[in-house]
Chain A
Amino acid sequence: MKTLNQNLTRREFLRGIGRYSLLGLLGWLGLTLGRGLRRGKGTEYVWQIDPEKCTQCGRCATACVLSPSAVKCVHAYVVCGYCNLCGGYHQPNTKTPDTAAENQLCPTAALRRRFIEEPYYQYDVDEALCIGCAKCVKGCGSFGNGSLFLQVRHDRCANCNECAIAAQCPGEAFARVRRSRPYRLRGGVA
């Protein structure tokens, strides 16, 4: 091999560029393939729930191979009314719409509320506590605007080829969606 201070011929220069370009291309292909395999076993599709078909049966909490389930409640803030009395947060017969434990609907206290301005409150889901039982989703849909709904969270979903929840879903709400648009949100955003 010639040293740096020796002159390269045009052919040698072009051959070098071609060689390093090929190496770069192979590296890029390898990285892309590896990332794809790591994410979803090479698939372009992931599992997701159609909120319009979900019947809040509770099986998302029990059927998932992960514990707790990869299905979590998510909140479409643009649809929420920020109500003081919230159908997703409070028990249906709550007399005083406050944060007392006996007035809260969520059995794991995964739904939290904070004061915004009189008389509006913001409701947030603590995903670490949410098990995807859909109790709040049913309450919000029955007595509110339906801004709470279930989604498969892809930061934890194993993306099984045969989704155990989909196999049991009575509303046939589970479907494969493109990985590039992995969520089916209400109100456009969550």
Chain B
Amino acid sequence: MDMNRKEQIRWGAIWLTVAVVAVAAGLLIRARRQAALTTDPRTGELGGAFRLDVSALNRIDPGLVIGAEKEPIPALVESPHALALDAAGRLIVGGENEIAVIETNGVVRTRLPMPFAVRCVAADEDGTLYAGHVDHVGIYRTNGVPAVQWPSLGTNTVLTSIAVAGDNVWVADAGQRRVWRLDKQGRVLSRIGDKDDGKGGFIIPSPHFDLALGSVDELWVVDPGRHMVISFGRDGARRSAWGRGGADPEGFSGCCNPTDIAIRTDGSFVTSEKGLVRVKLYTPAGALMGVVAGPDKFDAEVRGLDLVVDGQGRILVLDPVRVQVRVFEVNVQTNK
């Protein structure tokens, strides 16, 4: 095709413009990448590649939030670690030096001084309190009967959760990475999670290892390193598991979450996480129902939020930084 001189000049100008724009765009992209990888000469600060911004992860889609916070209850004890409910629906809060029994309206019923720090606590139907100290369980009664200290479960023991039902006491031991089943005299009946159990045992990177009793003759244990919640029969046989890792709302974030769980009467699970501090609600099958409380509700230094669900279905969260029992109501129904 023959082109006259005018057309040749026009096409030449077009191609030249395209080439200049392409080179300029390439230089701009390169400059932006360089800026992200090196120090900004104007501010002297590091480029984006050297900064970790976790604020985006802290934002929760408002459509996922299903919890409404109510008036908190003062936890009263120093350095609170443990939260439970007794058969009468009263709060049992364990701390560094004492256990406080508190009505849900905040009225203090009893304060029991403790000889050891309380890491976890559970109440039997007759009101007996089972407190997990670092390496052993202590039995306390509010009617003046002397306390009983069971023998230590081992030098590496770090008890982090306890549950009582029938003739059995289950204790989660983060130090030895196993669950102990004891009778009510403190004798060891069986263990769950030994490393040679064919499943590799529990992975517990930090001292957060929770368990909870389900409604149907089952024990739910958190395996935080695998980001899973696993059910066992009360004989110790493994039944099922759910959960996955991930910083998205459905997953459990970081190295080792959830830190704590509680089970509602309909079988749905309440979970809490550290790092990216979140309290969430899952169906009995492990599907996310919503976020009860996001990171904006808690102080960043919170490490572990013990949970219980009261008779009205409210989620009670022990906040060790604010020394409060935070109260959340949820407005969803479980679809099994």
Contact = CB atoms under 8 A, between A and B. Distances in A.
Nearest to A135: B52
Interface in B20-45: 37, 39, 44-45
Contacts of A86: 255
Interface residues of B, number: 26
Given A107-B37, A119-B200, A135-B52, A144 B46 contact: no
Question: What is the interface of chain A mostly: helix, strand, loop, or mixed?
Answer: loop
A135 B256 contact: no
Interface in A16-57: 56
A85 B246 CA distance: 10
A118 B200 contact: yes
Contacts of B247: 92-93
Contact of A81 (B50, B253, B256): B256
Contacts of A142: 52, 54, 254, 275-276
B225 to A, nearest CB: 6
Contact of B49 (A63, A83, A107, A119): A107
Interface string A52-90: 000010110111000000000000000011111111000
A81 B200 contact: no
B255 A58 contact: no
B64 interface: no
A144 B225 CA distance: 11
Interface string B270-291: 0000011000000000000000
A169 interface: no
B46 A87 contact: no
A143 interface: yes
Contacts, number: 79
Contact of A83 (B50, B51, B246, B255): B255
Contacts of B8: none
Interface in A78-114: 80-87, 92-93, 95, 105, 107
B236 interface: no
A135 B49 CA distance: 9
B225 A81 contact: yes
Contacts of A150: none
B185 interface: no
A81 B206 contact: yes
Contacts of B44: 62-63
A135 B51 contact: yes
B275 A107 contact: no
Contacts of B49: 107
Given A87-B254, A87-B255, A119-B225, A138 B52 contact: yes
Given A83-B205, A83-B225, A92 B57 contact: yes
Given A87-B255, A143-B253, A62 B52 contact: no
A105 B57 CA distance: 16
A107 B50 contact: yes
Given A82-B205, A142-B275, A135 B254 contact: no
26 contacts: A58-B46, A58-B51, A61-B46, A62-B44, A63-B44, A81-B205, A81-B206, A83-B255, A84-B225, A85-B245, A85-B254, A85-B255, A87-B254, A92-B52, A93-B246, A95-B246, A107-B49, A118-B200, A139-B52, A142-B52, A142-B254, A143-B275, A144-B254, A144-B256, A144-B275, A145-B206
Nearest 4 pairs of A and B residues by beta carbon: A81-B205, A143-B254, A83-B255, A133-B50
Interface of A: 56, 58-59, 61-63, 80-87, 92-93, 95, 105, 107, 118-119, 131, 133, 135, 138-139, 142-145
Given A83-B203, A107-B37, A144-B256, 17 more contacts: A58-B46, A58-B50, A62-B44, A62-B46, A80-B205, A81-B205, A85-B255, A87-B255, A93-B247, A119-B200, A119-B225, A133-B46, A133-B50, A135-B50, A142-B254, A143-B276, A144-B254
